[in-house]
Amino acid sequence: MTGRRDRGEGKLGCVVSLVLLAVAAVVAVKAVPVRLSVAELEDFCVRQAERASLHGERGGKTVEEQIADGILLEAQKENLPVTKDHIKVWRDADWEHIEVKYRVVIDFLVYKYNWDVVHAVDRRIF
């Protein structure tokens, strides 16, 4: 005589698998777009630092102010919670430094994850 387990009729494993699949789907739907936005801002910061020597003073704004304004606009485009206070741009000797620190809150329905993001870019100016 064969028992229930031997015939594969156990339903608990299926339910657990479906719950795990649902949790993975929620995490992916919530976290992946945020991660992509953060990566886009990181890339933008790197590009801005690389182009720092090409910027000239325009409209009474220094190069650092222009870079900070560009980063702020890009962050708004990517729907990231960055303010002017989160952005520090400075130059010393032959180096351009960009630092952006902010916190992204990802709501996973039953848990809110606080992700502290730091973009720190240092590039030599030629």
**pLDDT in tens for each of the 126 residues of the chain?**
555 556 656 778 888 889 899 888 988 999 999 999 999 999 999 999 988 877 666 667 888 999 999 999 999 999 999 999 999 999 988 899 999 999 999 998 889 999 999 999 999 887
CB 89 within 8 A of CB 68: yes
**Residue 2 domain-assigned (yes or no):** no
**Residue 112 domain-assigned (yes or no):** yes
Query: Which residues, in sequence order, are CB contacts of 116 under 8 Å at separation 6+?
Result: 101, 102, 103
**Residue 4 domain-assigned (yes or no):** no
**Residue 29 domain-assigned (yes or no):** yes
**Residue 1 domain-assigned (yes or no):** no
Q: How many domains would you assign to the chain?
A: 1
**Residue 20 domain-assigned (yes or no):** yes
Query: pTM of the full predicted structure?
Result: 0.81
CB 103 within 8 A of CB 115: yes
**Residue 75 domain-assigned (yes or no):** yes
Task: Residue 79: give the domain boundaries.
Answer: 11-124
